[in-house]
Amino acid sequence: MKPITLDKRIARKVLETVDAGLCSGKGAPEPGKMCVEAAVCFALGLPHSDEPPCVGAAVRSYKIALNDCHWSSNFARARGMRKLAIAQLGSDTINQAKFAELVRFKGIQRALPVILRSWADHAECKNKNEVRSAAKECQAAKNLGEAVGSAEKAYASASAYAYAYASAYAYASAYTSAYAYAYASASAYAYASAYREYLDEKLGKDFLLNLSAQIALNALMELKSPGCKWLNLCSPRKN
C-alpha cells in the first residue's frame, strides 16, 4: 500500500465526512451512512473499511465501541466524536498500551463517580451511602493502581444490580487488560439497557458518551497524537 500522507486537507475531509452523520456499524461508503473509522478510510480514498491504517489498534477499538453505543441520533454521534475523529489521525505512532491505560484511569476517576452517584439516587439502590463512598474513592484516585482498587470496591457495591451501568463500568474498569479495556469501557453503556433510560433522564441524553469521548480526546492530546494539531478545524457546529 502506498504510504499515507496526513495533512490539513485530509483532516478537513474527515471532518466533512463525519459531520454528515455517523451510523452504528461499519455502514456503507456514503457520507452519513458510515461509522467513524469508515469515515476516515473514505476521506483517505481507501476501500470501504473500518480499519484505517493511520489509527492505532487500541484507539480504533475504543472508537468503534463508542461509535456503536446507543447515541440519541446519528448526528449526536457525529457531534460527540468529531474532535476525536481528527485527534486520532496518526495515532498509530503513539503508545497504544499507554492510551488504553489513560482512558482506563480517567474512566474510573471521572466517569464512574458520575455513574455511581446517579445509581445511589435510584429508588432501587439499597446501599446508597456505600455507593456514594465508592464514588468518592474513585474520584480521589491519583494513579491507575489506586483507581483499579477503587473500581473493584465500586463493583462490589453495585454487583447486586447486574443491570446497572455502574456495575458494568466498574467491572470493565477493574478486570480487563489495557487493550481490552479500550473496548469494554466504551461498550459498558450499551449493556445497561434498563438503567440507561434512567441515566439519560437524570444526566441528559448522550452525557456519558460525550464524557467518554472527551476522556479519549484528552488521552490523545496527552500522548501528542499527530491529528491533535488540526483540532482548530473543529469549530462548534451550528446544528
Give the model confidence (pLDDT) of 202-239 as tens digits: 888 888 889 989 999 999 999 999 999 999 999 865 44
Provide the whole-model pTM.
0.89
Confidence of residue 1 (pLDDT cuts 50, 70, 90): low
Residue type, 62: Y
Give the model confidence (pLDDT) of 141-195 as tens digits: 999 999 888 888 877 776 555 445 555 565 566 666 666 666 566 666 555 556 7
For the chain, the domains span: 8-94+224-233, 96-217
Catalogue the E-assigned strands of 35-77: none
SS (H, E, C) 141-162: CCCHHHHHHHHHHHHHHHCCCC
119 touches 158 (CB < 8 A): yes
77 touches 40 (CB < 8 A): no
How many residues are listed for the chain in this entry? 239
What average pLDDT is seen over the chain?
85
Q: State how far the Cα of 115 lies from the Cα of 117, in Å rounded to an integer.
A: 6
